[in-house]
Structure formats: C-alpha cells, structure tokens
Amino acid sequence: MTKPNKPFYLEPSARLQRFLGRELIADPNVAIIEFVKNGYDAGATEVVIEFVLDGLEPKDQQIIISDNGAGMTTDGFRRNWLRPGYSEKVDKRRVKVRSSGRERVTVGEKGLGRLAAGRLGERLDIYTRRTPKAKWLHVEFVWADYDDMQKSMREIPVPYTVGEAPPQSAFNIGSCMVIEDLSVKWAGKVPGRKVKGRADTRLGRLRQDLELLTLGLDEGDADFSVSIRHDLSDKRSVCGPIDPIAAPASPYRYEIDVASSDEGITVKRTIQRSPEVTAESNRPPREEHTVNLEHPSTAGTGEDDAEDTTDDGNPHGLSCGPFSAVFYYFPPQMKTEQLGVENGVFLYRDGVRVEPYGRNDWLGIRAAKASRQGHAPIAPNQLLGQIRITRDENEALTDMSNRQGLVENEAFHALVTVAQSELQHFGDVILNELVKPQWTQPSDRARYGAERTLDALGLIVRAKVHDLRQPLLTVGTHLDRLEPLEDSSSIPKRDRSIIREVRTESVNLLEFVDRRIAELLQRRFDMDPEEFDVVTIIDRVEADTSADLQALGVDLIRDEVNSVKVVGPPEALFEAVREFVLNGARAAAKHTESPQVSIRAAVRDGQIEVVVRDNGAGLPEGAPDDPFDGGWSSDGGGGAGLNTARELLALYYANPTLKSTEDGTEVVTSFPTDSTRRRLGR
C-alpha cells in the first residue's frame, strides 16, 4: 500500500494583497464606503470621513475615517482583521447599536472590505479601542511591502504599538483609519465630461453616493449618520452630515411586497395617489390588493388588474426569496434633478445600498419603453425606486467580491424578472389613469402615434445603417487594393487610367454615403419629453447647419430670439427647425444673390411662436393647399422633410403653417399654451 504523501498547502504570495486591495475595487468611493459599512457593522451611530488635502502633495494628503462603533481589542484584531477572507459577521449577523442597544443586521461578510484601503492610499494606520479607558491599539500597513512576489503574506511583518492615540479622531472610542499617500486626487473636479445628475467634484460625488448608502425615503436608520469634513476652501454642499434621501412629493407611489405562497408568487400591491391625481382620476388616494402571479384569474380587485396580471405570467418562481420595493413616478415636467432626487431603482440589503444598482438602469426601463413605445409611459428619468432585500431572507443573492454587483445566478434573475413585471404593472396604471384619458383629442392621438413611430424608426434606422457601414468598410478596403495597380508598368496606360478613375469615383461615392451614415449614427433619437428653452435648440440648429449654409452662401439671421420654454422631446424640435432652415436656405440660394434665412422665437399674443423666413421665390403658382402633405417643398425638391417636420411637431401639439410673404416664404410654428397642461392630464 502506498504511504500517503504529506499534503500540499496553499501559501498566498504577499502580492495577493495588491489584487485584493488595490486592484479589485475600481471606484475609490466604493473603497471609502467599505469603511463606512465596517463602522455600521461595528454598531457605530456616527462615521466621520475627513479629508486633509489643502496645499499638500498627494503623498502628504490624508483620509481619516473614524467611527464610534465597538472598536477592537488586540486579540480581536489579530483574529479578525489580520485574516483576509475571514469575517465574524458570517456567523454573527447582528450587532447592538452602541447608544440605543437596538439590534442592527450587519452588511459585510466577505472579510475583504478592509483591504480596500490599498485602493485609496499607500499607507494605512489603524487606531482602535473598545472603551474610553482602554489603551489605543495602533497598527501600521505599508502596502508597498506586499509587492514582493517571492514572499508569502505571513512573512510581511505588521508593526503595532499599544497606547499611542490617533493624531486626530472624531471620537474617543471605536476605530480610526488614517490613509496616507493617496492614489486619487480628491480635490477639484473629476476630469472628463460632465455626467448628468452627478456632481462635478470627486467629493461631491462621494457625498451623492453616501446619500444613497442607507435606505432613506421614509424608512431610514435613525441611529446611523455619516459626515464629510475637508480643509478645502469651497465647502459648499459637500461638508457636514449626510442625510439619506427623503421621500419625494410624487403623484404616484407604488409599493410591493413579494413573497412565495402555495399558489406561487404573491404580490401585495399598494398604490398611493397625490390629492391632485386622486381628484382627476376619480380613484381613491390609496388602493391595496394582493395578486398571485401564477394564477391571474384570482388576481386583483379591478378590471385592469386582472388584465395586467395575465400578461405578467410566472416570472420563474421566487428563488431569490421574498422582497419589497417602493417606486415613485414623476411626470415629465417634474425633473428629478431639480427636485434633488436621483433617478433609478436602487437595491438595498438590510437598509444598506448594494452597489452598483441604481443609476445603471439594471431593470431595463429604457429598453422596455423602447419596445412598448407609447404604451410604456415610464422613462428612466421619471422613476425613483428602492428594492429591499435582507441577508436572512435572500441568502442566494450574494455580492461579487469586487463590489460590482450581485452574482448573476437564478435568484438574481428571478429578482429582476419580478421587479420588471411589477414596473410594467405600475406603468400600466399610469398609462390607464394619466395618459390614455388624453388620447381622446385627435391631436393627442397624432402625438402618440408620432411618438411610437419615431421610437421604432430610430431603432430601425440605426440598426440598418450600422449594417450598411460594415460592408462599406470592406468595399473601401478592397478598392484600396487597386491603388498600387494605377502605377504598375505591367498594365497598359489606358487601363491604368480606367482603374484610377473607377477607384477615385467609387471612393468619393463611398465617402459620401459614409458621411451620411456617420450623421445618422451620431444623431440622437432620444424622444423623452422634458421642459427646455427653445433658444438651446436654435443654438444647435445654427451650429449644425453652418457648414451647409456656408456652402450655399446663405446668411442665418437671428431676427428675435427670446428665452421661451416648451415641453416635449428636444430632438424632435431640433430636427423640425433644422429642416425649415435648410429648406429655406436652399430656396433662397436659388433665387437671390444675397440669400438669407432668419429665425424668430418669441411669445406673440400669449402663444409661443417659432418663425423661419427665407428670401426665396415664395410659394409658386400651383403649390398644394397643404405643403406639408409630402411630395412638395419650397426649394423645388422633394417634400418628405417638411412632412417629417410636421410629424415631429405633433409631439408638441404644434401645427406648422407655410405661406408666401412679400419677399419669400415663412414657416410659423405655434405652440399651444395649454400643451403642458394637457400632456399632464390636468
């Protein structure tokens, strides 16, 4: 019988710290939040994050994160902190909050968050003690010491002292992390483009992320607060305690409790309506009913509900475990940015946010709107939501170690599917109560028809032009193979000349087609309505048409452009006004040596008017009664552009008119003053 060999043992290289610390977490805000969560799990009521930055080189800058939680003894530190991957919280899922004694469910479980310090800076000093009378334990980490691949992790000494107090800590107990030699520039703005809804500065973005860290709305943890301090001169809106987001004033609040039952999946749905919506919809301010997603025939109390749950089907069982959620809907004129509300559906476990769900449209709201067009009234920027899970009841929903989200398993799929199904139901409620009543007017029907057509058209056009571009590239690459032959002495001169001509002409045509394709790909087809200033559209049209107008020798004149606000999809107005300007420019260029197009945007007799005039030949004899009907244009070309422009303006309930003037043609677009009111159903 063979004697068994002495077994092997894994011995992690010291360099593993680099991968688990410095290179595992991409976002430095996530690394800071890991320490805030550690304080939360230590039963702290307060965490203070202090940045010492002003006038210092990065190596001298500091981040000091202090909490008034339970702190650690030397033995506890050795047993827990010094063993990456070990977490007492796996077995001990609850801690007592220091001041109140209330129980709190812990959020960490991987034992890796502590290593995130390496993402923030090259050096970490930890100070911790459990009581004011105990001596501080001070432990030092210099992460560069762990870069030696030849050494194992246990060969790197971790120096510590007992009795040395932190140089500055917000509290006289708990833990204080001092991170130095910072790897990220925290002062000033984040480089690159602005991100809609996000602060310009790193500290501002950190504050935004911390505002979302705990549940907020109407169910936040009153026993926990986070503050930011820094020494930079501009302290506006960043320094100070951070309040979780408050429950916003919204016309609709939709709350669900999802659970397994003998019948399948049971959803308790509660809809709350604002007083205005209650009055206008003739519905009660609060409705509550329970539906079963597997047996739609038993569902709901109303006709609409039964119809909706039939569509819901059975979303793959509830392998994720029970969960609850709350959603707030904001109509187009209630911009979430102006309300100080981030939009998105955020995920919370035991009251603490699970990154990165929220801003990333993980429930596919935009795609749902695109596929159902006008029948899906909720756009991503019109929704705030929170989905709430717990460690105890949703064990299959586990975090990935890099904090990039949950492991995508069957349970996660079930969570997403049920949430999407419920959002569809919420959208149907809004559609039936808020949107459909507006469809009785012919102009409204036209508007929604146009919206559906444009949404679908945008997707189809982009898909088709992308398909076209790939073979164009290949054709261009093949044509390029002919170029060496144009100078080949083995080919007769006449043939070389033909090859050159064919190649040059073909390349020119390919370039023309490719430019048009590039234009289509760059054009945004975002048809989400919003309130905006017409001046911004005229600015865009002026910039966009300048090259074409210059080629035609046409001057664009701003006759009178005042700041006026309209509600609708900005892209639709841009396309329509651009069409009027180019149409007028072509007509003027054919008629006069000093061609001009002028734009006016102003309020006339209480109506918003956008007027585009040209000094062309005007409408000729025999022009149709309705020049927008297609097949005709004032420049003598095809009229498809004018027809499209009118379709686009239907999205604003606006109806353009085109007529001859003393010296050319004039297109007047009047926006009904009540369009805002009507689209909101008020």
Per CB under 8 A, which of residues 183..202 are in contact with other proteins? 184, 192-193
Question: Quick one: 484 or 622, whose CB is closer to other proteins?
Answer: 484
By beta-carbon proximity to other proteins, the closer residue of 301 and 546 is: 546
Q: How far is the CB of 187 from other proteins (least distance, A)?
A: 16
- 285 C-beta neighbours (distance < 10 Å), count: 12
Q: Is residue 623 a contact point for other proteins (CB under 8 A)? A: no
| Window 96 to 155, contacts with other proteins (CB under 8 A) | none
Q: Which is nearer to other proteins, 15 or 130 (CB)?
A: 15
Contact predicate 670/430, CB 8 Å: no
Q: Which stretch binds other proteins (CB under 8 A): 25-33, 99-107, 219-227, 279-287?
A: 25-33
- Residue 23 interacts with other proteins (CB under 8 A)? yes
Find all residues with CB under 8 Å of 279, minimum gap 6, and list them. none
Residue 471 touching other proteins (CB under 8 A): yes
- Toward other proteins, which CB reaches closer, 247 or 479? 479
Asked whether 666 and 264 are in contact (CB, 8 A), the reply is no
The residue among 130, 135, 133, 227 whose CA lies nearest residue 173 is 130
SS3 503: helix
Query: Can residue 518 be called a binding residue for other proteins (CB under 8 A)?
Result: yes
Among 510, 535, 552, 602, binds other proteins (CB under 8 A): 510
Q: Which is nearer to other proteins, 13 or 281 (CB)?
A: 13
CA distance 320 to 406: 12
Least Å distance, CB 200 to other proteins, is: 14
- The residue assigned the tokens 């007028």 is 584
Helices (H), 212-250: none
What values do phi and psi take at 62, rounded to 5? Answer: -135, 150
Residue among 519 and 559 whose Cβ is closer to other proteins:
519
- For other proteins, the closer CB: 268 or 469: 469
User: Do the beta carbons of residue 442 and residue 333 sit within 8 Å?
Assistant: no
Contacts of 404 (CB under 8 A, 6+ apart): 26, 355, 356
Beta bridge partners, 271, equal 254, 287
Q: Does 470 engage in binding with other proteins (CB under 8 A)?
A: yes
> Which one among 229, 462, 590, 682 touches other proteins, defined by CB under 8 A?
462
Q: Which is nearer to other proteins, 200 or 480 (CB)?
A: 480
Q: Which is nearer to other proteins, 19 or 86 (CB)?
A: 19
Q: To which H or E segment does residue 610 belong? A: strand 607-614
Is 484 a binding residue for other proteins by CB under 8 A? The answer is: yes
Nearer to other proteins, 205 or 353 (CB): 205
Using CB under 8 A, pick the residue from 469, 540, 591, 682 that binds other proteins.
Answer: 469
Task: Please state the closest distance from residue 195 (CB atom) to other proteins, in A.
Answer: 8
Burial of 499 (0-12, 13-18, 19+ CB in 10 A): middle
Residue 511 binding other proteins, by CB under 8 A: yes
Work out whether 473 is an interface residue with other proteins (CB under 8 A).
yes
- Near other proteins by CB under 8 A: residue from 5, 282, 490, 522: 522
The nearest distance, CB 194 to other proteins, in angstroms, is 11
- Cα separation, 101 vs 314, in Å, equals 43
- Cα distances (Å, whole numbers) of residue 109 to 102, 181, 583, 668: 20, 28, 65, 65
Q: Minimum CB separation from other proteins for residue 53, in Å?
A: 18
Q: How far is the CB of 422 from other proteins (least distance, A)?
A: 24
CA gap 498, 491 in Å, rounded: 11
- CB of 524: closest distance to other proteins in angstroms? 8
Residues 347, 358: Cα–Cα separation, whole Å = 7
Among 486, 514, 542, 663, binds other proteins (CB under 8 A): 514
Distance of CA 380 to the CA centre of its chain: 8
> Which of 16, 475, 564, 602 forms a contact with other proteins (CB under 8 A)?
475
Rounded to the nearest whole angstrom, what is the least distance from the CB of residue 120 to other proteins in the complex? 11
Instruction: Between 575 and 614, name the residue whose CB sits nearer to other proteins.
Output: 575
Q: Does the protein bind other proteins through residue 476 (CB under 8 A)?
A: yes
Chain centroid, CA 526 distance in Å: 14
Which residues lie below 8 Å from residue 471, measured CB to CB, with a gap of 6+?
Answer: none
Question: What is the secondary structure of 294-322 as a DSSP string?
Answer: S-GGG--SSHHHHHHHHHH---STTTT--
> Which two three-digit tokens encode residue 330?
């904001």
Is beta strand 174-182 parallel, antiparallel or unpaired with respect to 160-162? unpaired
Query: Least Å distance between CB 475 and other proteins?
Result: 7
Cα 173 to Cα 68: distance, rounded to the nearest angstrom: 6
Q: Residue 164 or 483: which CB sits closer to other proteins?
A: 483
Cis preceding-peptide flag for 356 (omega within 30 of 0): yes
User: What values do phi and psi take at 596, rounded to 5?
Assistant: -140, 150
CA atoms of 567 and 256, how far apart (whole Å): 32
Interface with other proteins in residues 356-415 (CB under 8 A): 370
Question: Considering the rule CB under 8 A, would residue 26 count as an interface residue with other proteins?
Answer: yes
Q: What beta strand segments (E) does 354-469 contain? A: 383-389
What number of chain residues touch other proteins (CB under 8 A)?
Answer: 34
Residue partners of 61: CB distance under 8 A and separation at least 6: 51, 52, 53, 180, 181, 182, 186
Out of 507, 535, 561, 602, point to the residue binding other proteins (CB under 8 A): 507
Task: Using the rule CB under 8 A, give the single segment among 266-274, 340-348, 521-529, 607-615 that binds other proteins.
Answer: 521-529
The distance of closest approach from Cβ of residue 478 to other proteins in the complex, given in angstroms and rounded to an integer, is 5
Residue number with CB closer to other proteins (364 or 449) = 364
Q: Write down the residue that tokens 């009507």 correspond to.
A: 678
Give the one residue of 339, 457, 472, 602 binding other proteins; rule: CB under 8 A.
Answer: 472
Choice from 142, 247, 459, 499 touching other proteins (CB under 8 A): 459
Residue located via tokens 């102006």: 338
Residue placing its CB nearer to other proteins in the complex, 132 or 192:
192
Q: Return the half-sphere exposure (C-beta side, CA atoms, 13 A cut-off) of residue 491.
A: 14
Tell me which stretch binds other proteins (CB under 8 A): 19-27, 261-269, 297-305, 605-613: 19-27
Give the interface with other proteins as residue ranges (CB under 8 A): 23, 26-28, 184, 192-193, 370, 459, 462-463, 466, 469-481, 484, 507, 510-511, 514, 518, 521-522, 524
